[in-house]
Amino acid sequence: MGEKCIQLLHFSVVLLVFYGNTPAVGVSSEDKIRCTEREKQALLQFKEDVADYDSVLSSWGSEEDKRDCCKWRGVRCNNRTGHVTKIDLSSSDLSGKISPSLLELQHLKYLNLGGNYLGGGNQIPVFIASFSRLQYLNLSGNSFLGPIPHQLGNLSNLRYLDIRSYYELDGGNIEWLSHLSLLRHLSLTHVNLSQATNWAETISSLPLLKNLRLQRCQLPNVVPPAHPFNSSLSLEVLDLSDNDLSSSIDSVLFNLSNSLVDVDLSVNRLKGLIPDSLGNMISLVKLDLSFNHKLDGGNIEWLSHLSLLRHLDLSGVNLSQASNWAETVSSLPLLKILRLRLCQLPNVVPPAHPFNSSLSLEVLDLSDNDLSSSIDNVLFNSSYSLVDVNLSFNPLKGLIPDSFGNMVSLVNLNLGWNQFEGGIPKSFSNLTHLQTLFLDFNNLTGELPEFLKGNSLQVLNLEGNKLSGAIPESIGQCSSLEELVLDDNSLNGTVTKSIGRLSKLRRLSLSQNMFSGSISCICTSMGVNLSFLDLSNNQLSGGFPDCWGRFEFLSVINLANNNLSGKLPNSMGSLKYLQALQLRNNRFHGELPPSLKNCENMIFIDLGQNRFTGKIEAWIGMHLTSLVVLSLRSNKFYGGIPENICHLNQIQVLDFSQNDLLGELPKCFNNFSSLVQNDDFKVPNIFFYWEQYNAFAARGYIYEGNALLQWKGVEREYTKNLQLLKIIDLSSNKFCGKIPKQVATLAELVSLNLSRNNLTGQIIQEIGQMKMLESLDLSGNRLSSEIPTSLARLNYLSVLDLSNNNLSGKIPSSTQLQSFNASAYSGNPRPEGRRTCAEVEVDQVEYPIPAMPVFSRAKSLPGDCLSLFLSSHLCLCHLHAHQGCTCKGVLDLSHVGCIIHLSLE
Ligand SMILES: *[C@@H]1O[C@H](CO)[C@@H](O)[C@H](O)[C@H]1NC(C)=O
Ligand SMILES: *[C@@H]1O[C@H](CO)[C@@H](O)[C@H](O)[C@H]1NC(C)=O
Ligand SMILES: *[C@@H]1O[C@H](CO)[C@@H](O)[C@H](O)[C@H]1NC(C)=O
Ligand SMILES: *[C@@H]1O[C@H](CO)[C@@H](O)[C@H](O)[C@H]1NC(C)=O
Ligand SMILES: *[C@@H]1O[C@H](CO)[C@@H](O)[C@H](O)[C@H]1NC(C)=O
Ligand SMILES: *[C@@H]1O[C@H](CO)[C@@H](O)[C@H](O)[C@H]1NC(C)=O
Ligand SMILES: *[C@@H]1O[C@H](CO)[C@@H](O)[C@H](O)[C@H]1NC(C)=O
Ligand SMILES: *[C@@H]1O[C@H](CO)[C@@H](O)[C@H](O)[C@H]1NC(C)=O
């Protein structure tokens, strides 16, 4: 501070002198040109070689008024000799290469090019090693690649060296560093030091080093008993975070006791007990040992000696033995930041209060522990100073106390995923600085309080409680609100007009409540910020809003399971970034507006169970080529399927069932490439980041689309495993003609349902190529001829329905095929005069064998239970039953025509 004052003083004196001698300036200026011509030319060459988009170097030039290069931005000269001694062009958005012309600047002491884009993927230029007077070198954050030149070891005057990289710089063995004996500050963050096996010794040879940052360097382990740092080091800042160190703490920190102020060893694999000797590091102000999952904090007795500590992070360290953790922490008078997330913290036993009132804690994170006491025991007395509190993911019980209203400094409060009961305290209205409030997944009851005053609140998440009543009108005053998440409660009333006034809203999520009335309020003043709208599973009614032009960045619309009606308006075409449109189970009608073709980012469309009509238009296949899920299930679409539907090469779920579609099936199914090939690297995009088009994206939220599908004969809503389901369901239409042979190329398809159509011809011979098929329903058609033998190759098939066709002949023999419900084959002509021979393997029979033995068949379908009913036209040749499985079903042999061989072990 003293230094700054002096500089200021100096500056103002100079100014006075300058104004005092105005007439003389012109005359004496020539004498004052200090810059040497050769150095000036060198700098101009440097400027020539870089791209300077921000015109940072506009003061650099050969014009008359720019003659003195010592006055150029970022350049300083020795005021006696005129030689350039300092270049500081940090964070100037420069890119390109560093001109070797700089070599001319042999008097350079300070070179800071950090935070630019220089380097262009080349090595750090070797000529930098020739600046023998250099004391400060900063090349951090540029785009250099390849090995660091060992010649930098020539820079024996260096005090500061920062080559922190964002790319892959290769540090080699860093022995050259040992020549830099004056070094005080060294940062090699993100430099690959995996070859530097002697890094610890090399560092130890730098006697003046105070600040060492080797984050994410792939440092080789320190092998005990070697201690990396010898005792003569006076290190103050040590950052070895995010390496893969797996030794004990002792072997890393030994001997460094007294000087260390700031230690970060987070994100390693350090193991063993944290030694008591850590208590000798009495100068520590910041200690971060988080995310070393094999580290055991013991009783953290050592902590009580670190009385200067302000910032402590032991997240992920096992503290289950630290029964006095609360008292210990309370004995640290200066502590401001405490993070003990995922520490297996022992419960706080009443009446002990962990944090005594003298603490000036601001950040407290005790999330993901097993704290099950009342919150009073945890937070009592620590009220006034707290700014950020995260107690989520504990089983904390009881009421949220009124005393929360005293914590008037709170900005972020997360009490989500606990077991709190009762209402939200009225005292929350005192928390006028609150920006984020998470009370999600508790057991809270009562109405929403009028606590939503003040305009700082940005995120309100009350999902998964038992809150009831209406949303108070006062919510309209939360003018900063960006996320309002009230899903899965028992709230009712209308989606009030005041919600429509929340113009900053990005996420509005009110699903699974009992809201009723219209949703026209979203057309009030919400707009360009809205990115996620989920009002599904309510009792909303009325028409579909027609104001979509204002929601340019909307990416998810979910209105499923309501009573909404009307047509989809043309204005939907302006939703360029829409990725999911879920309108299932409403009373929408009419044709789809052709403007929907503009929504080319669409991934997920579920319009099932409405009264939509019209043809399946060609623009779907031509424009919506990112579609992964397309369900038009149970509507009134008519006409044929256009060939270009096969352009949907990302499609995984195609459901047109229960419509009035007719004609032949397209012969291009082999173009559905995500159903043809398994491409693990192109994981379907059903899970997407709803804010990805929002420039301010700060918080993330993964949206999982859900769809109602028929799977193995049961209609259900799928969310979690949707990305694994690869389904084509065209059942219950009027399709005719043969099953196109291209269907057989869908080797990744898991379920194919073509039932209840008017299909003729044979079952395609190549069906055995669909090796992932688990469910095949071809029932209710007019398929004829023999069942292809290749069907026996479908090892995963567990649901097969071929009933009600004209199939004949032998059912191919395989372990799978005979284990189906006989109804799978019923309604076909009975095989004349011969009996089909089946071989069934059964893995467990429970004793005593009842008339219908209980069995399990876990062999090829783990965890999947089947019932086995064999009808009289089948004949069992061999039945082997083994013990030792768990999954049970029913084996009904009552109708089997004959059993040739039965063995039950
Ligand atoms: C020259 O620079 C030194 C330190 O850099 C400073 O102390 C001195 O006052 C300067 N002299 C003039 C004439 O500006
Ligand atoms: C190097 O420059 C970067 C970017 O300007 C800066 O963040 C960093 O603190 C500097 N390093 C040192 C040691 O001064
Ligand atoms: C480094 O120093 C050695 C001897 O002091 C010298 O021969 C060599 O040229 C120097 N390297 C560079 C790149 O300046
Ligand atoms: C780091 O360097 C080693 C040896 O040169 C190399 O095997 C390894 O792949 C590099 N690490 C990364 C992430 O590139
Ligand atoms: C929520 O409260 C109800 C009684 O109101 C209780 O039956 C239930 O177990 C509670 N759930 C949890 C997760 O605490
Ligand atoms: C709100 O804070 C004031 C002090 O600022 C306090 O007197 C009052 O009791 C608090 N109200 C509630 C409901 O906690
Ligand atoms: C909303 O629910 C409350 C009970 O929680 C009930 O008293 C009220 O009548 C309901 N209002 C409407 C409009 O259904
Ligand atoms: C099935 O197709 C035949 C002609 O191939 C036609 O006569 C019959 O009406 C169709 N049945 C249905 C239900 O569409």
CA atoms of 432 and 405, how far apart (whole Å) = 10
pLDDT for the residue numbered 360? 83
Residue 484: pLDDT band with limits 50, 70, 90? very high
Provide mean pLDDT across the span 302-322: 94
pLDDT for the residue numbered 629? 87
Region for residue 91 given its phi and psi (left: phi exceeds 0; alpha: psi -120 to 50; beta: otherwise): left
Ligand 2 neighbours, Cβ below 6 Å, are 90-91, 112, 114-115, 138, 140-141, 160, 162, 185, 187
Of 4-8, 303-307, 504-508, 779-783, least confident by mean pLDDT is 4-8
What is the whole-number distance in angstroms between the Cα of residue 195 and the centre of ligand 4?
8
End-to-end alpha carbon distance in the chain:
89
pTM assigned to the model = 0.79
Closest CA to 164 of 178, 150, 144: 144
Provide mean pLDDT across the span 185-190: 95
Provide mean pLDDT across the span 570-574: 93
- Taking CA atoms, 140 is separated from 173, 252, 596, in Å, by 19, 26, 48
Q: Is the pLDDT of residue 608 over 90?
A: yes
CA atoms of 316 and 892, how far apart (whole Å) = 53
Residue nearest to atom 6 of ligand 7 (CA): 469
User: Across-strand partners of 808?
Assistant: 786
Q: Ligand 4, residues 173, 192, 195: which to mutate, most atoms within 8 A of Cβ?
A: 192
pLDDT for the residue numbered 701? 42
Name, in order, each residue with C-beta under 8 angstroms of 869's C-beta and a sequence gap of 6 or more.
Answer: 821, 822, 823, 890, 892, 895
pLDDT for the residue numbered 24? 33
**HSE-CB of 898 using CA atoms within 13 angstroms:** 7
Residue 14: pLDDT band with limits 50, 70, 90? very low
Residue nearest to atom 7 of ligand 7 (CA): 469
CA atoms of 401 and 424, how far apart (whole Å) = 9
Closest CA to 632 of 613, 651, 652: 613
Q: Ligand 2, residues 111, 116, 139, 140: which to mutate, most atoms within 8 A of Cβ?
A: 140
User: Across-strand partners of 248?
Assistant: 271
User: Across-strand partners of 338?
Assistant: 312, 364
Looking up tokens 């704290």 gives: 371
CA atoms of 358 and 663, how far apart (whole Å) = 80
Closest CA to 166 of 191, 135, 146: 191
Q: Which atom of ligand 6 is nearest to the CA of 429?
A: 13
pLDDT for the residue numbered 356? 58
Q: Ligand 5, residues 419, 443, 468: which to mutate, most atoms within 8 A of Cβ?
A: 443
What is the whole-number distance in angstroms between the Cα of residue 417 and the centre of ligand 5?
13
Residue nearest to atom 1 of ligand 4 (CA): 192
Is any ligand 5 atom within 6 A of the Cβ of residue 443?
yes
φ, ψ for residue 266, nearest 5 deg: -65, 160
Q: Ligand 4, residues 194, 195, 197: which to mutate, most atoms within 8 A of Cβ?
A: 194
User: Across-strand partners of 606?
Assistant: 582, 631
Closest CA to 851 of 896, 809, 883: 896
Do 536 and 510 touch, CB atoms closer than 8 A? no
Residue nearest to atom 2 of ligand 7 (CA): 469
Burial 298-335 (b: 16+ CB within 10 A, else e): bbbebbebbebbbbbbbbbbbbeebbbbbbbbbbbeeb
Ligand 8 neighbours, Cβ below 6 Å, are 734, 736, 758
Of 147-156, 625-634, 811-820, least confident by mean pLDDT is 811-820
What is the whole-number distance in angstroms between the Cα of residue 526 and the centre of ligand 7?
27
From the CA of 141, the nearest ligand is 2
β-strand pairing of 806-808 with 784-786:
parallel
In terms of Cβ atoms closer than 10 Å to its own Cβ (0-12, 13-18, 19+), residue 272 is: middle
pLDDT for the residue numbered 869? 32
What is the whole-number distance in angstroms between the Cα of residue 239 and the centre of ligand 2?
15
pLDDT for the residue numbered 224? 60
CA atoms of 334 and 338, how far apart (whole Å) = 11
Looking up tokens 């032949």 gives: 664
What value does the mean pLDDT of the chain take? 80
Is any ligand 3 atom within 6 A of the Cβ of residue 151?
yes
The answer to whether the Cα torsion of 613, 615, 616, 622 is positive or negative is negative
Q: Which atom of ligand 8 is nearest to the CA of 782?
A: 1
DSSP, collapsed to helix, strand or coil, labels residue 756 as coil
User: Across-strand partners of 855?
Assistant: 845, 889
Looking up tokens 């005593």 gives: 848
From the CA of 126, the nearest ligand is 3
Residue nearest to atom 11 of ligand 6 (CA): 427
Residue nearest to atom 4 of ligand 3 (CA): 154
Provide mean pLDDT across the span 81-91: 95
Closest CA to 787 of 755, 765, 770: 765
Q: Is the pLDDT of residue 29 over 70?
A: no
Residue 809: pLDDT band with limits 50, 70, 90? low
H or E stretch covering 623: helix 618-623
DSSP secondary structure of 757-768: SEEESPPPGGGG
pLDDT for the residue numbered 833? 30
pLDDT (tens digit per residue) in 161-176: 999 987 778 999 899 9
Q: What is the token pair recorded at 77?
A: 């000269």
The rounded percent of the chain whose pLDDT value lies above 70 is 77
Tell me, letter by letter, the H, E, C secondary structure of 539-600: EEEEECCCCHHHCCCCCEEECCCCEEEECCCHHHHHCCCCCEEECCCCEEEECCCHHHHHCC
Q: Is the pLDDT of residue 835 over 50?
A: no
Closest CA to 148 of 133, 130, 163: 163
Do 607 and 634 touch, CB atoms closer than 8 A? no
- Which is higher by pLDDT, 322 or 5? 322
The answer to whether the Cα torsion of 528, 529, 534, 535 is positive or negative is negative
Residue nearest to atom 12 of ligand 2 (CA): 162
What is the whole-number distance in angstroms between the Cα of residue 399 and the centre of ligand 7?
24
Q: Is the pLDDT of residue 39 over 70?
A: yes
Closest CA to 126 of 104, 154, 90: 154
Q: What is the token pair recorded at 250?
A: 């002792």
H or E stretch covering 212: strand 211-213
In terms of Cβ atoms closer than 10 Å to its own Cβ (0-12, 13-18, 19+), residue 70 is: buried
Residue 205: pLDDT band with limits 50, 70, 90? confident
Q: Which atom of ligand 4 is nearest to the CA of 192?
A: 1
Provide mean pLDDT across the span 801-806: 85
Residue 23: pLDDT band with limits 50, 70, 90? very low
Of 151-160, 255-264, 528-537, 719-728, least confident by mean pLDDT is 719-728
Q: Is the pLDDT of residue 16 over 60?
A: no
CA atoms of 509 and 463, how far apart (whole Å) = 9
Is any ligand 6 atom within 6 A of the Cβ of residue 427?
yes
CA atoms of 672 and 679, how far apart (whole Å) = 12
Is any ligand 3 atom within 6 A of the Cβ of residue 129?
yes
pLDDT for the residue numbered 263? 95
DSSP, collapsed to helix, strand or coil, labels residue 773 as coil
Tell me, letter by letter, the H, E, C secondary structure of 26-88: HHHHHHHCCCCHHHHHHHHHHHHHEEECCCCCCCCCCCHHHCCHHHCCCEEECCCCCCEEEEE
Residue nearest to atom 3 of ligand 5 (CA): 443
Is any ligand 6 atom within 6 A of the Cβ of residue 405?
yes
Q: Is the pLDDT of residue 736 over 80?
A: yes
H or E stretch covering 95: strand 94-96
DSSP code, position 202: H
CA atoms of 810 and 819, how far apart (whole Å) = 15
Of 251-265, 270-284, 695-709, 832-846, least confident by mean pLDDT is 832-846
From the CA of 34, the nearest ligand is 1
Q: Ligand 5, residues 421, 440, 467: which to mutate, most atoms within 8 A of Cβ?
A: 421
CA 692 to chain centre: 11
pLDDT for the residue numbered 256? 62
CA atoms of 52 and 92, how far apart (whole Å) = 8
Of 38-47, 76-85, 753-762, 818-827, least confident by mean pLDDT is 818-827
Residue 376: pLDDT band with limits 50, 70, 90? confident
Q: Is the pLDDT of residue 198 over 70?
A: yes
Provide mean pLDDT across the span 22-27: 33
Residue 587: pLDDT band with limits 50, 70, 90? very high
- Which is higher by pLDDT, 10 or 716? 716
Provide mean pLDDT across the span 800-819: 70
DSSP, collapsed to helix, strand or coil, labels residue 296 as strand
Provide mean pLDDT across the span 672-678: 85
What is the whole-number distance in angstroms between the Cα of residue 866 and the centre of ligand 6?
63
Is any ligand 5 atom within 6 A of the Cβ of residue 419?
yes
DSSP code, position 719: -
Of 281-285, 559-563, 731-735, 837-841, least confident by mean pLDDT is 837-841
H or E stretch covering 326: helix 325-330
pLDDT for the residue numbered 684? 43
- Which is higher by pLDDT, 474 or 892? 474
CA atoms of 280 and 306, how far apart (whole Å) = 8
CA atoms of 210 and 190, how far apart (whole Å) = 19
CA 770 to chain centre: 33
Name, in order, each residue with C-beta under 8 angstroms of 64's C-beta and a sequence gap of 6 or more.
Answer: none
CA atoms of 151 and 346, how far apart (whole Å) = 54
The rounded percent of the chain whose pLDDT value lies above 90 is 53
Residue 807: pLDDT band with limits 50, 70, 90? confident
- Which is higher by pLDDT, 833 or 600? 600
* Rg of the Cα atoms in the chain: 36
pLDDT for the residue numbered 706? 62
pLDDT (tens digit per residue) in 243-257: 989 988 877 776 666
Do 242 and 267 touch, CB atoms closer than 8 A? yes
What is the whole-number distance in angstroms between the Cα of residue 619 and the centre of ligand 2?
54
Q: Which atom of ligand 8 is nearest to the CA of 760?
A: 5
From the CA of 737, the nearest ligand is 8
From the CA of 159, the nearest ligand is 2
Instruction: Order across the sheet with 117-118: list the strands.
Output: 50-52, 94-96, 117-118
